[in-house]
Each structure stands twice: as structure tokens, then as C-alpha cells.
Structure 1
């Protein structure tokens, strides 16, 4: 970011404040982003975003941001105009949908493979679990283990 500022504003320019957002780009309720936007508007400053596609993957959110009056620029696309920004907002939303679709398909394939593996173990008269190198077992299913699952694995 600092390099972008120095390239645009001069060698001695520094950012007023840095906001770091760790929320997913699919979430619209992002406290750090909201704080950065408020600060930029109040200071009549330009908000510099590292990467446009990490800002959001929701076209309505991005277009509302564009029309909000807040001045911002994406460091990865400093010369993007309103038209470019609008098109990229739609592309980002499409990408999000494609990622969701691919993820759902991959999870379904993995879930099916685990179900087949569990069924094969049951046919052999074995418990449908995965035996780990440390001697513990894990259920043959997807998802985060709950505390009770972890306790069962340790018994």
C-alpha cells in the first residue's frame, strides 16, 4: 500500500491509517471496512484497497460502495474507472457463485467416497473410522469434530 501511495502522491507520502480486514469477501458486515470507509469520508481521503476482488464478491455491495461517495482506489487496478469497476463487480459475484458450485460438488464427491469407505469397513465387520498414526481414530465423515467427537476419539 505504501508503495502505491508513494508512486501516486510522492516519495514522502504515508498512509493516514491502516485498516486490516480478515473477514471473508462474501460478508457485507465487516467492521474494519466500515471503519475505514467512515474515516476516509470524514478525512476526505482516498481509501486504498489492496485488491479489488478481495473487497467483496457481491455486485450490489460493490456498486453501492461505488455510488456511496467514498473515494477509493484498488492498488491492483489504480486506473479502473466506474465502467471497469461495475463490470469487475459482476465478474467477482460470478466467481463467488462458481467457487460455491465447485466447493459443493467437491464436498459431495468426498462425502460419497467416505460413505463408501465406511460401508466397506462395516461389511468387513470393522468400525467405520479412520485409524490415525498416533493410534487415535476419527469418524469417517466430513465436518469439524465437536468436543464430544474428540472425546470419543481419545477413548
Structure 2
């Protein structure tokens, strides 16, 4: 009996450890046609001047936030894009074509099972990039917010 129980526990542990999660290739980190790591000028060339911008010095460098009226926000550190957020009425899509209103089946078809789920957030980490990826918020079965870049 003990041997059977030990075999079952070991098998369950191996099965749990072999669950396949999706990592997003680094070249898929894009939202609204703008890739993670892009320059300020790349964003301005695509979207023009922001409706609102804020600058502040942090211990890690200059942080700049751009807000556009189309519910698309960009965050830069030292001139490089570190985060993009689409919410409310944005029509921005990921490189795989996922946008607000997409259902969970579409998200899983594009990215597979999430690496981590926290409440309504489905998190997909980028391959070889710690703490960077896609965070897709799902409410009532539909995407309501997408964040691309640094996940915090």
C-alpha cells in the first residue's frame, strides 16, 4: 500500500512538472504596432505627440510616460520603451492579433496556456527575458486590458 501511494505521488509530481507553458518569443512583444524597446521617436512617428506626458527622475534613470487619447499609454526609461498599455476603447492589437474584446480561446490559440494566472490577469513571459512579457486581463471571458513589456 505504501509503495502504491509513493508511486502515485511521484507520478503526480512528474506530471505536474511536465505541464507545458507558453513563453512568448521576444520578437512577439509588440502592441499597437510598436515593439518593446522602441525609441521615443518611433512612437511619435507612429502616433504623433502625446495628449499628456510626464517626466521624472528615478534611481534607475529618466522615466517618461506618454498618454494618448485612444487609451494607449507608453512608458520609457532612458529613451527606450519599457511598457505599453491598451485599455478601455483602444483598437491596438498584439503582433499575434489579440486586442480588446478577444475571447480566451483566441488568446490561448495565439499564446497557449499562460505561464501564470493572478486573479483576472493571464501572464505570458517573454523567452529569455526575466519579468518581461504580456499581461492580458480577462473579464467576463473577454480581453479588457493588455500590457506589454515590464510586468509589475
TM range, smaller chain: under 0.3
- By percentage of residues, which structure has more helix? 1
Ranked by relative contact order (alpha carbons within 8 Å, sequence separation 6 or more), the top structure is: 2
CA radius of gyration, larger in: 1
TM-score relative to the length of structure 1: 0.24
- By percentage of residues, which structure has more strand? 2
